[in-house]
């Protein structure tokens, strides 16, 4: 059954208004637009037929929307089923993700450290690259260390910081 011009304009505006309140992808938006329009038109058509009219009017569509619980009612019916449920992630997978994060962080910090040493070394009086670990200890987030010292002493110095 055809709609009046007023009913068609109201239907377009109403569906746009309902969808504007929900973040959706293009494909989902297109699908739900069809579903909302189809439902409201079918419900309006039933009212129009019962009233003995030959066209769906804006009042038919407004009554259909009200019966469906308004904007929120229709959003619950059509949009919520698309929401993905929150999944429980097991400890093993979380641990794996943490290990990957640590690895990536290590790579990034090593790169940043190397870049800082490379860039700052000429500014520090042309010191040899062999001594940068002594002179640039302040750029090392894990603290001072001097590989020339005995390992135990390095550990004590690191522990003091």
Partner 1 sequence: MKGTHVAEGVNLWTQQIRKGSTRLAVLQLVSERERYGYEIISAIRDRTNGALEVAEGNVYPALHALEAEGYITSTWREVEPGVPPRKYYRITARGREHRSMLVREWKEFAGAIARLLQGE
Binding residues for partner 1, rule: CB under 8 A, are 1-3, 11, 34-35, 37-39, 41-43, 46, 68-69, 73-74, 76-78, 80-82
Please tell me the distance from the alpha carbon of residue 39 to that of residue 74, in angstroms, as a whole number.
Answer: 10
57 close to 7: Cβ distance less than 8 angstroms: yes
Q: How far is CA 61 from CA 2, 46, 64, 77, 145, in A?
A: 12, 10, 5, 17, 76
Q: Which is nearer to partner 1, 19 or 43 (CB)?
A: 43
Instruction: Work out how close the CB of 38 gets to partner 1 at its nearest, in angstroms, rounded to a whole number.
Output: 4
Q: For partner 1, which is the closer residue by CB, 82 or 112?
A: 82
Question: Which residue from 76, 75, 81, 50 is spatially nearest to 63, judged by alpha carbons?
Answer: 50
Residue with Cβ nearer partner 1 (73 or 145): 73
**CB closer to partner 1, 48 vs 132:** 48
Residue 110 Cβ, how far from partner 1 at the closest point, in Å? 46
Quote the DSSP letter at residue 149.
Answer: S
DSSP state of 80: G
CB of 86 to partner 1, least distance (A): 17
Q: What is d(CA 60, CA 58) in angstroms, rounded to the nearest whole number? A: 5
CB nearer to partner 1: give 15 or 132: 15
Shortest distance, position 5 Cβ to partner 1, whole Å: 11
d(CA 89, CA 99): 15
Q: State in angstroms the smallest separation of the CB of 35 from partner 1.
A: 6
């Amino acid at each position: 059954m055809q709609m009046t011009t007023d009913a068609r304009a109201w239907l377009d505006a109403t569906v746009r208004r309902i969808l504007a309140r929900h973040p959706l992808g293009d494909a989902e938006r297109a699908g739900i637009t069809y579903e909302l329009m189809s439902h409201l038109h079918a419900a309006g058509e039933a009212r129009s037929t019962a009233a003995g009219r030959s066209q769906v009017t804006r009042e038919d569509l407004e009554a259909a929307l009200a019966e469906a619980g308004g904007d929120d009612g229709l959003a619950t019916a059509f949009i919520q089923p698309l929401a993905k449920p929150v999944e429980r992630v097991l400890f093993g997978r979380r641990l794996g993700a943490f290990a990957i994060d640590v690895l990536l962080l290590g790579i990034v910090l090593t790169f940043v450290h190397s870049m800082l040493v490379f860039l700052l070394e000429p500014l520090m009086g042309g010191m040899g690259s062999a001594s940068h670990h002594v002179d640039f200890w302040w750029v090392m987030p894990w603290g001072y260390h001097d590989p020339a010292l005995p390992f135990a002493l390095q550990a004590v110095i690191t522990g003091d910081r």
